[in-house]
Structure 1
Amino acid sequence: MKPLLICDCDEVLLHMVRHFGTWLDEAHDIEFDMSHHDWSRAMRPRNGSTLSPEAMWGYLDGFFPAEMGRQTLVPHAREALEALSNLADIVILTNLRDHCREHRIAQLDSHGIVHRVECNQGGKGAPVARLVEEHGASVAVFVDDLAQHHESVAREAPQVFRLHMISEPAMARFVPAAPHAHARIDDWREAQRWISARFNAGQPADTLHTAQGD
């Protein structure tokens, strides 16, 4: 069976936070400080009020799917996926509500990225494990920008290689490497080489001792 690449979308394939911040500013007079990966600290109403968690999620629901057209392609992402598709099956696993799935498919298609898309809510470990089993992949790589998802995948699917990527430079420099990822790479040209090497080696992650940043 072919290897499997399971890839997040926002801040991996498409820029999101920079456009979300612009929309918050324009439509809601809210500052979005990208130096904080914790959104409870990043979103700051200019009237000095404090946002509840429900309000923060409400703004996110306002962005998806209505404002998805603002998002732009991460440099070299399309070319990397095109090359990797010659080696592996590819699934885009995105944490959006299910009603956004068709919007995400169309959005990615508009950027020349046409692969299976699955929506998820919560940790990604269980869906990654299911996808690996479904595809029968002996080697799989998971790419995501959030540390908690790497921890979830490490727990639920330890055989999967985990690559931490934050493609937004204004945010990446403030976020440490995810401790449960095998590597941190924020550029798709280097990431493509790293992923290809894992596929070509043909060994699952839990049989190897892969150092951070290898």
Structure 2
Amino acid sequence: MADKLSDIAADDLDIGHRPLVVCDVDEVVLQFVAPFKAFLKANGHELVLRTFSLNGNVFSLETGTEIPDAEVEALLTAFYDAQEDWQEPFETARETLEGLTDIADVLLLTAMPPRHREKRRRLLRRNGFDFPLIATERPKGEVLSALCATHPPALVFIDDMLYNCRSVTRHLPGALAINLLIDDDYRALAPKTEPPSVVAAGWKEAEMLIRRHIAESR
């Protein structure tokens, strides 16, 4: 991995005194699938989601052929380099997270190479998400376990990827892991959410689950 746990900092967030809501960014706070499709089309490619993966689902518009995984990775890197021009937040995401600050601290945990962190921070702040941000390629459960040496009174983790939810509950069994799948088509392709993770189809449902978990943890 390019980043080390010793290099990961959550800005000045003091973990352990208040409930903590940890939130993924792509396809949770910021739209990813729709803008990535638009980015690919502008660059001569097309995303056709037949499975819950980018690899194997990107095609050349010129030839109609599936492109290799290495080229998909290169296009994803180019997209993140240009993310400030393409990505927009989901409706109500900011309002929901801001509203939760009356009962919890909020931390954004994005799965991307740390070199993209400052561009992502600018994009988020431009859209009103002025929360601490960690960008890392490490397993999210490992990251949160290291950060939460002093355990918060309640921990909630939100992510569109079930394997990230599993990673967190494996390292921190007391956490509530919410598998947030906002887009209907995306949700239909996703692996079925299984306990201890719970599924939410939008921010309204996620907020209800978060507030209930924190209330029950008091």
TM range (shorter): 0.7 to 0.9
Higher deviation after alignment, 79-88 or 171-180: 171-180
Structure 1 residue 182, shift from structure 2 partner:
2.5
2:174 paired residue number: 159
Q: Distance in 2 between matches of 1:114 and 1:87?
A: 17
Residue 185, structure 1, aligned to residue 212, structure 2: no
Out of 8, 11, 22, the position equivalent to 2:27 is: 11
Q: Which secondary structure state, in structure 1, belongs to the residue aligned with residue 201 of structure 2?
A: coil
Q: Distance in 1 between matches of 2:53 and 2:138?
A: 16
C-alpha RMSD of the superposition: 1.7
| Seq. identity, % | 24
Structure 1 residue 53, shift from structure 2 partner:
2.1
Q: Which secondary structure state, in structure 1, belongs to the residue aligned with residue 56 of structure 2?
A: helix
Contact 1:145 1:164 in 2 (8 A): yes
Q: Distance in 2 between matches of 1:155 and 1:172?
A: 23
2:152 paired residue number: 137
Contact 1:4 1:132 in 2 (8 A): no
Structure 1 residue 202, shift from structure 2 partner:
1.1
Give TM-score, length-normalised by structure 1: 0.87
Contact 1:31 1:45 in 2 (8 A): yes
Q: Distance in 2 between matches of 1:129 and 1:187?
A: 26
Letter in 2 for 1:97: P
Q: Which secondary structure state, in structure 1, belongs to the residue aligned with residue 185 of structure 2?
A: helix
1:206 paired residue number: none
Structure 1 residue 35, shift from structure 2 partner:
4.4
Q: Which secondary structure state, in structure 1, belongs to the residue aligned with residue 213 of structure 2?
A: helix
Out of 34, 38, 49, the position equivalent to 2:53 is: 38
Letter in 1 for 2:28: V
Contact 2:56 2:68 in 1 (8 A): no
Runs of 4+, deviation exceeding 4 Å: none
Q: Which secondary structure state, in structure 2, belongs to the residue aligned with residue 14 of structure 1?
A: coil
Structure 1 residue 150, shift from structure 2 partner:
1.4
Structure 1 residue 181, shift from structure 2 partner:
4.6
Structure 1 residue 158, shift from structure 2 partner:
1.5
Q: How do 1:57-206 residues align onto structure 2 when only pairs under 5 Å count?
A: 57-134=73-150, 136-202=151-217
Structure 1 residue 193, shift from structure 2 partner:
1.2
Q: Which secondary structure state, in structure 1, belongs to the residue aligned with residue 189 of structure 2?
A: coil
Contact 1:9 1:93 in 2 (8 A): yes
User: Given the superposition, is the C-alpha separation of residues 186 and 116 from structure 1 closer, same or farther in structure 2, using an over 3 Å criterion?
Assistant: same
Higher deviation after alignment, 123-132 or 57-66: 123-132
Structure 1 residue 168, shift from structure 2 partner:
2.5
Give TM-score, length-normalised by structure 2: 0.86
Structure 2: where are the runs of 5+ without partners? 1-16
Q: Which secondary structure state, in structure 2, belongs to the residue aligned with residue 109 of structure 1?
A: helix
How far does the alpha carbon of each residue in 1:5-47 deviate from its partner, in whole angstroms, 9 at most, with x for none? 11000110110111111111111x2110234311123212231
Structure 1 residue 86, shift from structure 2 partner:
1.0
How far does the alpha carbon of each residue in 1:154-188 deviate from its partner, in whole angstroms, 9 at most, with x for none? 22221211000122333123224332552100211
Q: Which secondary structure state, in structure 1, belongs to the residue aligned with residue 178 of structure 2?
A: strand
How far does the alpha carbon of each residue in 1:104-124 deviate from its partner, in whole angstroms, 9 at most, with x for none? 111111111110000110421
Equivalent pairs counted in the alignment come to 201
Q: Distance in 2 between matches of 1:180 and 1:10?
A: 23
Structure 1: where are the runs of 5+ without partners? 204-214
